[in-house]
Amino acid sequence: MNLVDSLRYHWNVNILGPSILRFSIWLREQTARRGWKSGNLAPPLKVSWRNKDLVTRHWLRGHYANQRSKVAWVTSGAPVELLKALDYYIVYPENHAAICGTARVAVDIMSEAEEAGYSQDICSYARTDFGTLFSGMTPVGKLPRPDLLLACTNICQTVLFWYRVLARHFNIPLIVIDTPFVYQSEASEHAVQFVLRQLEEAIPVAERVAGKSLEERRLEEVGRLSKLATELWLEIIERNQHRPAPISVIDQFIQMAPIVEMRGDAATVDFYAAMLKEVDERIAKGIGAVKGERKRLLWDNLPIWYRLRYIAEFLGEHGIAIVASTYTNAWGELAPFYKVERGLESFALACTYVILNRGTGHKLKTMQRMIEEYRLDGVILHSDRSCKPYSIGQMDQRDRLIREHEKPALLLEADHNDFRCFAEEQVANRLAAFVEMLER
């Protein structure tokens, strides 16, 4: 990058972009706070602007990433620390798709993929990113071209085929980390060593594309930062065991972007430290996410990105707060597996124990534990059309929760990114009937 490009980068990414962002965030938050004075939801967290700043700067850097560093596209459960330590700029296609869903442009974008022949039965995240690939449409300006792809099968098998499409399209190397499924409470030593060997074999490929060697000290530092951020995130979500819950799961969905796509960054640790401080201040002042909290719920599966506020307001009007989630907890429960002193094996463990790489019994036990620890009154299980691995077994899990814990449980059918699968009237009726059940 020459001097002119460097100056342009510094001006856009570090000065102009953040300044415009902070002003727009301030305007939106003023409007939001005025709008919520008469509602039953607490104002947004003050620290929210830092999250938006982090995410926006990330995508601003993406505009120039191909001129400054190597770029890798990775799946959400992949051992990103290896690439962070080699100074790759990282793109998570799933996070990009979630941004499209929240901005309510995902259907327009994924329609481009469907017109190219991709079925509506494919994950809506994949279709969204294929649509961006073919059309260039995206709310973040543009996506940098990848030099390397890293896919880990610990979240689903879809990513394997998804990333093969990307590899053919860009004609670039694809690293696949295949994680054996954890059927029991613990993975076998053989399974962990199998993943570890794959990580060892991936390093030379990543080094060759990066044009540099992996330094053990740098990898250890990135791993330490990932561990700290994950531990802070777990502390934050566990604060909701307090009553009233200081934040809702909707807040967690909004604030979780850094723990997914910016693990290993010092700024992520700083952000979650500030968020934890504000959450503790809310607890000290008796501020709840829902004013006059009466009932507390668990959310299972991915969020419905395009209807977050609708669900929060509908339940909030009845004094109902969603205070726990298996999805946001999935990014916290990995904290004990980040054993930095064990080097690469630490990342092998974190890869292997991702929630979707474990049996449905593990998820049921997690929900049962949360019901007790968070003193919950009911459960909403999002039967997600796009995420079959997360949705499998939910009917049985619902029935077990009702029978064994005597807790009302609602199976809500939708899709995390495709609003064409969201039946507005049907969802409203089912939520209303569920609220009546809770209040009996």
Q: Does the structure show a pLDDT above 70 at 321?
A: yes
C-alpha separations of 297 from 40, 69, 248, 322 in Å: 16, 44, 10, 4
DSSP 3-state of 213:
coil
* CA atoms of 259 and 271, how far apart (whole Å): 10
Partners of 91 in the beta sheet? 73
Q: Pairing mode, if any, of strands 295-300 and 174-177?
A: unpaired
Q: How buried is 31 (Cβ within 10 angstroms: 0-12 exposed, 13-18 middle, 19+ buried)?
A: exposed
What are the C-alpha distances in Å from 246 to residues 34, 190, 257, 364, 430?
20, 42, 19, 25, 27
Helices (H), 171-255: 189-210, 216-238, 249-255
> Cα 365 to chain center, whole Å?
21
Q: Residue 440: is its pLDDT beyond 90? A: no
* Mean pLDDT of all residues in 422-440: 94
In this predicted structure, the answer to whether residue 313 has a pLDDT above a threshold of 80 is: yes
Model confidence at 34: pLDDT above 70: no
CA distances from 50 to 35, 63, 99, 209, 420 (A): 21, 20, 17, 33, 32
For 238-272, write each residue's pLDDT tens digit: 999 999 999 999 999 999 999 998 999 999 999 99
Q: What is the spatial distance between Cα 429 and Cα 440, in angstroms, rounded to a whole number?
A: 17
Kindly report the average pLDDT of the chain as a whole number.
92
Is pLDDT above 70 for 379?
yes
Q: d(Cα 101, Cα 109) in Å, to the nearest integer?
A: 10
Helices (H), 103-152: 106-115, 124-135
Asked if pLDDT for residue 3 goes beyond 60, the answer is yes
Confidence at residue 36, expressed as pLDDT on a 0 to 100 scale: 45
Mean of pLDDT values over 143-162: 96
Q: What is the pLDDT of residues 195-205, one digit of tens each?
A: 999 999 999 99
For residue 16, pLDDT over 70 is answered with no
